[in-house]
Amino acid sequence: MNYHDYIWDLGGTLLDNYEMSTQAFVKTLANFGCQASHDDVYEKLKESTDAAVKKFIPNQPQFLKTYKALEADYLKTPVLFTGASEVLQVIVASGGRNFLVSHRNKQVLDILEKTKVLPYFTEVVTSESGFARKPNPESMLYLKEKYKIENALVIGDREIDKEAGQAAGFDTLLVDGKKSLLEIVK
């Protein structure tokens, strides 16, 4: 491996969640008497949940709570991208460390446990850790200082992951889920 430390995003990077999230969002829209195309919702969710809500159902305060509950139900059976578990294992076996920074709540820990990859992480930062959301680098700077990280790669699927990593002084890599993570993370 080319780095000692790897800082991962979860959704769209390790976890193939966009399809499940899209299905939950579209179904919740229907429950609220609205509709949108699967592909339009998928693209907006890749930007952010807030962006999707603002675009498709901005004036319904109960929507987000209802959607998040259904999404959590869909995510009870999480699916990792090809090569995710293996690359995390290879990093640890070669003496490296994995960290995770997610805007999700402690549900992240359940997902990591269900997919059997939680033991590969040195620390997991969630929304409950109290840091500003990416692209603010606050959570990554916290990890950098706490663990004396000097040589790290931040891996994510969105521009905000790249911006946060670069602002913290790390190299970055954006992935799109089309290739095995084992092939592209070095």
pLDDT band per the 50, 70, 90 thresholds, residue 4: very high
DSSP annotation string for 137-185: -HHHHHHHHHTT--SEEEEESSHHHHHHHHHTT-EEEE--SSS-HHHH-
Average pLDDT of the chain is: 94
> Which pLDDT tens digit goes with each residue over 16-71?
888 899 999 999 999 999 999 999 999 999 888 999 999 999 999 999 999 999 99
* Cβ-Cβ contacts under 8 Å for 39 (sequence gap 6 or more): none
CB 32 within 8 A of CB 57: yes
Give 183 or 146, the one with higher predicted confidence: 146
- pLDDT tens-place string over residues 123-154: 999 999 999 999 999 999 999 999 999 999 99
| Cross-strand pairs, 121 | 98
Q: Is the pLDDT of residue 99 over 90?
A: yes
